[in-house]
């Protein structure tokens, strides 16, 4: 009887728990059994592994083979266990040495010819290895296509391979030709934004509001007629955001890796997600039999743009309320639970009425008050209450359209945003949007004139306590852009104007 034990990783939400792949060869009728809660993809690996071993020139043992994926109560899915299973069979049958298997962790799907195919979640697995005291002492052998993202993890030792034969040669004492070092993006190598704020003509007030939103990471709802420039402004909003820290970039990349769509060339580029209004609730927040991240998590530390907001199903929009507050999404199923980060910046756009021209200078809106109310009520009051800023985007005059664009560039605005954001980190260690109630009381104190104005406005428009706190957060950001240490009347007055939505008129 022979036994080989290898290390690999499963995926459970953002976590990548360690898995021991135990391969046992015994006398008896030839068979191969996989135990330890494998799903269909894992159970099918026995056929892929058999063909890969034979086509690579190895002998597939004609013995009773039992493969245990421990711990037994952890569900196992995807083809990432093909490589450790194949190496385990070879080690247990004496075709490759087993003396150094504990120095490595393995992941990779095998083709029938023995080539390694990429798997999703490589970055999350490498990140989990480095946080594990035992895993951090091991190197990670995985497909070549996954090496770039896995190497983003600081101090991770990555051995990329293209075939099963290369891995076996390495274990036999012949090192792989290429050992991947940590992938580093140096300042100035990030791709420049494709769209710039200088392309937008006019809209000075809206640009100012978006600058405030970018500086404090505040959510925004833009309301205006068709063609006013809402989508154009939103698509350029990401160019205003401050640079990502290494930790934020790694966490965002890990979520992208779980979805299987991370490109190492986009390291430290904030994600921009714009789902269609036909998207389901599961598409937005994540889910499925095997929980996967949704759009709110894929936009983690980036922008989630919802165009034509009232056209989304109302029940779909309601799922945004909890992640907007907590910055996390917990998906519970009968057999498992997955937790994903969702610290996104919401930028939404909508028309003021069904025809879109309510309040337009042309006067061509023919919508009744009831139809306007029904249209605006497609977005619930509790969701609107969680949006920090509500701004009107007015249409441009024909003369402005014919003029040359002469506004500030994204780089100029982003420099002011970065300075204001730096003041927030120095003062409280996080953006103003995430201030707690106690921190608001400490950093957003008002003078008597500002307090009276804000209280009067709240009574007039029947604002909630949440609206009161969000006005103070926005006012604090306006003060940071101005370089002011304390809030004054001008800061609060401007913040109040950004809070007044269509329902307050």
Token reading at 470: 């969000």
Q: How far apart are CA 358 and CA 381, in angstroms?
A: 20
- Domain 2-171 top-level CATH class: alpha beta
**Assigned CATH for 435-505:** 1.10.8
Give me the pLDDT at residue 345, please: 96
Span between the terminal Cα atoms of the chain, in Å = 81
Phi-psi category of 43—alpha, beta or left, where left has phi over 0 and alpha has psi -120 to 50? alpha
pLDDT score at 180 = 42
Give the model's pLDDT for residue 202.
80
Low-confidence ranges of the chain (pLDDT < 50): 1, 178-188
Q: Which residues pair with 64 in a beta bridge?
A: 26, 31
pLDDT recorded at residue 363: 77
pLDDT tens, residue by residue, 358-414 = 877 777 888 898 999 899 999 999 999 999 999 999 887 766 666 666 678 889 999
> CA-CA distances (angstroms) from residue 23 to 26, 70, 218, 478?
10, 11, 53, 62
How many Cβ atoms are within 10 Å of 395's Cβ, its own excluded?
Answer: 20
Q: Would you tell me which CATH number, out of the four given (3.40.50.2300, 3.40.50.12780, 3.40.50.300, 3.40.630.30), belongs to the domain 197-425?
A: 3.40.50.300
What ranges do the domains of the chain cover? Answer: 2-171, 197-425, 435-505
For the beta carbon of residue 441, count every other beta carbon within 10 angstroms.
Answer: 12
How many Å apart are CA 387 and CA 497, to the nearest integer?
A: 14
Which pLDDT does position 407 carry in this prediction? 77
Residue 330's pLDDT is 87
Which two three-digit tokens encode residue 364?
């061509």
67 forms beta bridges with: 23, 34
Separation between Cα atoms, residue 351 and residue 375, nearest integer Å: 9
Collapsing DSSP states into helix, strand and coil, what is residue 286?
Answer: strand
pLDDT at position 185 is: 41
pLDDT at 182: 43
Among 106, 151, 112, 377, CA closest to 267: 151
pLDDT at 187: 41
DSSP letter string, 54-115: HHTTPPPP-SEEEEEEESTTS-B-SGGGHHHHHHHHHHHTTSS--TTGGGEEE--EEPTTSB
Could you tell me the maximum CA-CA distance found in the chain, to the nearest angstrom? 88
Report the chain's C-alpha Rg in angstroms: 27
State if pTM tops 0.85.
yes
Plot region of 24 (φ>0 → left; ψ -120 to 50 → alpha; else → beta): beta
The CA-based angle 418-421-425, given to 5 degrees, is: 130
Q: Residue 115, exposed/middle/buried by CB under 10 A (0-12, 13-18, 19+)? A: buried
In 99-179, beta strands by DSSP E: 104-106, 109-110, 116-117, 139-143, 158-161
- Own/partner pairs for 71-75, CB < 8 Å, 24+ apart? 71/17, 71/19, 71/36, 72/35, 72/36, 72/37, 73/37, 74/10, 74/12, 74/17, 74/19, 74/36, 74/37, 75/10, 75/12, 75/37, 75/39, 75/290, 75/335, 75/336
């Amino acid at each position: 009887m022979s036994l080989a034990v290898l290390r690999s990783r499963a995926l459970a939400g953002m976590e990548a728990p360690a898995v021991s792949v135990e391969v046992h060869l015994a006398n008896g009728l030839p068979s191969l059994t996989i135990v330890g809660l494998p799903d269909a993809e894992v159970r099918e690996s026995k056929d892929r592994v058999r063909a890969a071993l034979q086509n690579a020139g190895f002998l597939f043992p004609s013995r009773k083979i039992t493969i245990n994926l421990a711990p037994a109560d952890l569900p196992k899915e995807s083809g990432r266990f093909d490589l450790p299973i194949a190496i385990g069979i070879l080690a247990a049958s004496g075709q490759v040495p087993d003396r150094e298997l504990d120095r490595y962790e393995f992941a990779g799907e095998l083709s029938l010819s023995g080539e390694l195919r990429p798997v999703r979640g490589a970055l999350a697995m490498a990140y989990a290895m480095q946080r594990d005291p035992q895993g951090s002492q091991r190197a990670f052998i995985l497909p070549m296509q996954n090496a770039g993202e896995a190497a983003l993890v600081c101090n991770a030792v990555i051995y990329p391979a293209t075939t099963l034969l290369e891995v076996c040669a390495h274990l036999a004492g012949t090192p792989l030709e290429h050992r991947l070092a940590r992938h580093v993006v140096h300042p100035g190598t990030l791709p420049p934004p494709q769209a710039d704020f200088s392309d937008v003509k006019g809209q000075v007030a809206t640009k100012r509001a978006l600058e405030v939103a970018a500086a404090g990471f505040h959510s925004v709802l833009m309301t205006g007629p068709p063609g006013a420039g809402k989508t154009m402004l939103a698509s350029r909003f990401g160019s205003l955001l401050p640079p990502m820290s290494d930790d934020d970039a790694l966490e965002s990349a890990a979520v992208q890796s779980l979805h299987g769509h991370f490109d190492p060339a986009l390291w430290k580029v904030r994600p921009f997600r714009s789902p269609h209004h036909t998207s389901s609730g599961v598409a937005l927040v994540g889910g499925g039999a095997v929980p996967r991240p949704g759009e709110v998590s894929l936009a983690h530390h980036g922008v989630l743009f919802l165009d034509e907001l009232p056209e989304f199903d109302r029940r779909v929009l309601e799922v945004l309320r909890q992640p907007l507050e907590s910055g996390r999404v917990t998906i519970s199923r009968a057999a498992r639970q997955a937790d994903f980060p969702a610290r996104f910046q919401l930028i939404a756009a909508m028309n003021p009425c069904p025809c879109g021209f309510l309040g337009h200078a042309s006067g061509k809106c023919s919508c009744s008050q009831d139809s306007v109310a029904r249209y605006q009520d497609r977005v619930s009051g509790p969701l609107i209450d969680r949006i920090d800023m509500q701004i009107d985007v007015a249409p441009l005059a024909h003369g402005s359209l014919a003029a040359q664009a002469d506004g500030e560039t994204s780089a100029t605005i982003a420099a002011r945003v970065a300075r204001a954001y730096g003041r927030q980190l120095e003062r409280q260690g996080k953006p103003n949007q995430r201030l707690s109630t106690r921190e608001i009381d400490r950093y957003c104190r008002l003078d008597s004139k500002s307090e009276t104005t804000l209280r009067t406005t709240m009574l007039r428009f029947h604002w909630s306590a949440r609206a009161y706190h969000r006005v103070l957060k926005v006012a604090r950001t306006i003060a940071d852009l101005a370089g002011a240490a304390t809030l004054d009347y001008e800061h609060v007055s401007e913040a109040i104007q950004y809070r007044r939505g269509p329902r307050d008129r």
